[in-house]
Structure 1
Amino acid sequence: MQKIAKKLVQVMQECSYIQKTGTNDFHHYRYATSADVLEKINMALVKQKLCSVVLPEILQQADVTTAKGNIEHMATVKIDIMLIDAESGESVSFSGIGTGQDSGDKAVMKAQTAAIKYAYLLSMAISTGDDPEADTKTDQMTSIPVKDKQQIQSVQTICCECGIKLTTGVRNVSLNKYGRPLCMKCQKKLQGVA
């Protein structure tokens, strides 16, 4: 692992900062685009002769109701990224999780884009000059009364193995225990209980 580690240090050095060139006009903020992140990472990886292989897995898909009463699709995707050194054959893997929401057919693609972008940003210690935890809107949500939170979180989740609808409790237990939404029957299969 010494050879790939040395190359990764070079990648990290070349990609230590990515400027925010994207603008969200609706919410009035700037962000580092996925295209900017991937372009910078790709150039550094190629220079070091490191190959990147991304494998996505859909963890959750659900329909959600927006504040305006519209139904949108929401997806959560886990991606595994393997970097392979073309010269030594050594490899290293890391993962990322992203969620995307769309009224059409792009929820999964948005989730994958977020997962890949943040997997690289976090794994390569890339700064964009912002803090994802500095989210006052989310902080304000934590002070909403419980009955209103339940209405906001009325998400129908399906089992990623068999596709049946899950209750919020079953979904939460499964996500905590297995990292993906599974019904009780599929959870028991994983435990070896038929």
Structure 2
Amino acid sequence: MKGQPIMQKLAKKLIEVMEECAYVTKNGVNNFHKYKYATSADVLEKVNTAMVKHGVCTIAIPEIISVDEITTAKGNIERLATVKINITFIDKDSEDTITITGLGSGQDAGDKAVMKAQTAAIKYAYMLSFAIATGDDPEADGKTDQTNIVQVKNTPKKNPIGNKTVKAACVECGIVLSDKVKTYSLEKYGRCLCIECQKNIKVSA
């Protein structure tokens, strides 16, 4: 580093990495919302190839910020994890270093919440630091998307007149149920269904 400003050599290499990782092709598909996205594997493969080429290595150190249990609309218990990850770049020639930080969250019914959060944190740390363009929405967990929509449908709504809670809604289509329909549905099917959705179940059966 003699005669050069601090981190100039590493900065030059990272600019070259940015040029080679300017765009990542979207190979993943979110089947629930019907859009394509750049997977973590897509991003890591492109970044890793460019970093190795220019002699830059990385050391990643994750930190779990929180792990919370949440109850879905169907009564299932899932874990929501948030992870912070520090990634240090080291230039093999000059030994210059610089560290970036990424945050990510992941939700899972099993033991993969932390892994999902860690993967998201790494992916977006690289995407933000290297200004990688993909045009995708964060993140492509179709199962979680569907669960969250059910949660929205089942959220008690407030009546603007008197601020009273309105009657139960159908878990399939969200239509508000009368007390009679709700009672029959709970006794017959064990959940709140409107008349049309009850018919669909009968047809399917």
Same fold (TM over 0.5): yes
Q: Is the 8 A contact 2:68 2:79 kept in 1?
A: yes
> Structure 2 length normalisation: TM-score?
0.64
Q: Which residue of 2 aligns with 1:155?
A: none
Of residues 56, 79, 87, the one that matches 2:85 is: 79
Of residues 39, 54, 62, the one that matches 1:56 is: 62
Tell me the secondary structure at the aligned position of residue 108 of structure 1.
helix
Matches within 5 A, 1:170-185: none
Which amino acid in the other structure matches residue 104 of structure 2? G
Of residues 97, 104, 108, the one that matches 1:102 is: 108
Q: Is the 8 A contact 2:37 2:135 kept in 1?
A: no
Q: 1:68 to 1:27 in 2, by over 3 A?
A: farther
Alpha-carbon distance in 1 for matches of 2:156, 2:88: 43
Q: Which residue of 2 aligns with 1:190?
A: none
Which blocks of at least 5 consecutive residues in structure 1 are unaligned? 148-194
Q: Which residue of 1 aligns with 2:193?
A: none
TM-superposed deviation, 1:131: 5.7
Of residues 32, 44, 47, the one that matches 2:50 is: 44
Alpha-carbon distance in 2 for matches of 1:19, 1:129: 10
Alpha-carbon distance in 2 for matches of 1:130, 1:28: 12
Alpha-carbon distance in 1 for matches of 2:18, 2:135: 16
Alpha-carbon distance in 1 for matches of 2:157, 2:84: 29
Matches within 5 A, 1:1-194: 1-130=7-136
Cα deviation per residue 1:128-150 (whole Å; 9 max; x = unaligned)? 02465xxxx99xx8xx8998xxx
Alpha-carbon distance in 2 for matches of 1:36, 1:8: 19
Alpha-carbon distance in 1 for matches of 2:107, 2:137: 22
Alpha-carbon distance in 2 for matches of 1:35, 1:130: 14
Which amino acid in the other structure matches residue 103 of structure 2? I
TM-superposed deviation, 1:28: 1.7
Which amino acid in the other structure matches residue 49 of structure 1? G
Q: Which residue of 1 aligns with 2:180?
A: none
Alpha-carbon distance in 2 for matches of 1:16, 1:129: 12
Select the structure of larger CA radius of gyration: 2
Which amino acid in the other structure matches residue 106 of structure 1? K
Q: Is the 8 A contact 2:36 2:136 kept in 1?
A: no
Which blocks of at least 5 consecutive residues in structure 2 are unaligned? 1-6, 139-147, 159-205
RMSD between superposed Cα atoms in Å: 2.1
Q: Which runs of 4+ in 1 moved over 3 A?
A: 144-147
